[in-house]
Amino acid sequence: MKKIFTIILWIAIIILIILGGKYLYNKEYEKNKVEDANSNEVIENEDKDIEVQEEKLPKKNENDYVTLNINDVRIPILMYHSISDADPNNSLLIPVKQFEEQIKWLKESGFTPMLLDDIVEAYTTGYVPKKPVAITFDDGYSDNYTDAYRILKENNMKGTFFIITNNIDADGFYMNSAMLKEMKEGGMGIENHTSRHIEFTNISRDDKANIIIEGINELKEKVGADSKYICYPVGRYDEETIEVEKEIGIKAAVTTEYGISSINDGLYSLKRVRIFPMDIESFKNIFKDFLN
């Protein structure tokens, strides 16, 4: 009798162990299902976030690009200063309506706007828009925000603004840090025109480095921009300037020398096309080699 009771007890224990194990397995299984569901939901949400971010980025139409020998790549880099109706006799001031007409024509004619990173990539790889254009502005006048930036945005175009950094937040004549931050977030290039706009050919090697580095630091501090490009003050530079730029890590520089830019001129001496008040037919003529 005692032996039978012992057998029954062991059978009961085994059954309890089996049932308990099954219960724990089912509980763990349900927990894993919930965790998997939550994990999938997180992944789906992250995918949606990525999709939303991608939607905000401009879509590159590969049909608008070609791959050339880098020596055959040519890019018109336009040089503007002020967009203003204030003084018709000042050739550095482009009337607002003229600028609007020019940008609208570039957009409607299928030109692809490029920032400095895009230009360096094109001269490194040969991959370039069929109709390239880079729109640049020197000095950082406040009308670059109120008119130039507004018109660029309206036409889904972008430009590069070279800033004399000591003038940021100085007065209403030049752009302030809030304007520049907004423009940076809006896809514009915010780059270095040095801190004090001193001609490089008139200063020492150390001073050359200082005004470049000061400009870099101030753009980072005041605007949050990581500048790797230079616009030479008054267009003046020398071989020592280029040596200093390379030591600091500057990737390229633009000049005031007239012409369509090419790698054959060197990344630290890129030519630009100075824009002065002109009719739209004269403006179109700048791009005649890119319209065929």
Task: Please tell me whether residues 194 and 103 are part of one structural domain.
Answer: yes
Q: Per-residue confidence at 292, pLDDT binned at 50, 70, 90?
A: confident
Task: Please tell me whether residues 19 and 153 are part of one structural domain.
Answer: no
Calpha distance 274→78 (Å, rounded): 6
Task: Please tell me whether residues 217 and 80 are part of one structural domain.
Answer: yes
Mean pLDDT, residues 42-51 taken together: 43
Last residue of some domain: 57, 75, 104?
A: 57
Task: Please tell me whether residues 31 and 79 are part of one structural domain.
Answer: no
Task: Please tell me whether residues 48 and 68 are part of one structural domain.
Answer: no
State which amino acid sits at residue 187: G
Structure-block tokens of residue 95: 């009337």
Task: Please tell me whether residues 53 and 146 are part of one structural domain.
Answer: no
The residue that leads in pLDDT, 16 or 125, is 125
Q: Give the model's pLDDT for residue 14.
A: 56
Specify the CATH number for the domain of residue 137.
Answer: 3.20.20.370
2, pLDDT greater than 80? no
125, pLDDT greater than 60? yes
263, pLDDT greater than 70? yes
51, pLDDT greater than 90? no
**Lowest mean pLDDT, pick from 57-61, 134-138, 240-244:** 57-61
Distance of CA 273 to the CA centre of its chain: 21
283, pLDDT greater than 90? yes
Q: Per-residue confidence at 54, pLDDT binned at 50, 70, 90?
A: very low
Q: Give the model's pLDDT for residue 7.
A: 53
Calpha distance 273→76 (Å, rounded): 7
Nearest CA among 227, 226, 221 for reference residue 253: 227
Give the residue numbers spanning the domain of 186. Answer: 63-290
Calpha distance 113→76 (Å, rounded): 10
Task: Please tell me whether residues 103 and 186 are part of one structural domain.
Answer: yes
Q: Per-residue confidence at 62, pLDDT binned at 50, 70, 90?
A: confident
Task: Please tell me whether residues 95 and 126 are part of one structural domain.
Answer: yes
The per-residue pLDDT for range 14-33, each reduced to its tens digit, is 555 555 545 444 445 454 44
Per the structure, the count of domains in the chain is 2
CA atoms within 13 Å, Cβ hemisphere of 281: 0
Q: What is the pTM of this model?
A: 0.80
Averaged pLDDT of the chain:
87
Task: Please tell me whether residues 44 and 112 are part of one structural domain.
Answer: no
Q: What percent of the chain has pLDDT over 70?
A: 79
Task: Please tell me whether residues 25 and 110 are part of one structural domain.
Answer: no
Q: Give the model's pLDDT for residue 118.
A: 98
**Lowest mean pLDDT, pick from 38-47, 132-141, 205-214:** 38-47
Q: Give the model's pLDDT for residue 12.
A: 52
Beta strand 65-67 with 127-129 is antiparallel
* Angle between helical axes of 205-223 and 239-248 (0-180°, round to 10): 40
Last residue of some domain: 25, 57, 89?
A: 57
Q: Any idea what DSSP says for residue 114?
A: -
Q: Helix H segments across the chain?
A: 2-56, 96-108, 116-125, 143, 150-154, 177-185, 205-223, 239-248, 280-285
CA atoms within 13 Å, Cβ hemisphere of 122: 26
Nearest CA among 113, 160, 132, 111 for reference residue 68: 132
The answer to whether 33 and 131 are in contact (CB under 8 A) is no
Q: Which residues contact 162 (CB under 8 A, 6 or more apart)?
A: 136, 137, 138, 139, 140, 191, 192, 193, 230, 231, 254
Q: Which residues contact 173 (CB under 8 A, 6 or more apart)?
A: 141, 142, 167
Nearest CA among 147, 131, 132 for reference residue 81: 147
In Å, what is the CA distance from 191 to each residue of 44, 87, 131? Answer: 38, 27, 23
Last residue of some domain: 39, 57, 75?
A: 57
State which amino acid sits at residue 145: Y
37, pLDDT greater than 90? no
Q: Give the model's pLDDT for residue 39.
A: 43
Q: Per-residue confidence at 10, pLDDT binned at 50, 70, 90?
A: low
Task: Please tell me whether residues 203 and 222 are part of one structural domain.
Answer: yes
The per-residue pLDDT for range 156-174, each reduced to its tens digit, is 999 999 999 999 999 999 9
Task: Please tell me whether residues 52 and 97 are part of one structural domain.
Answer: no
The answer to whether 191 and 227 are in contact (CB under 8 A) is yes
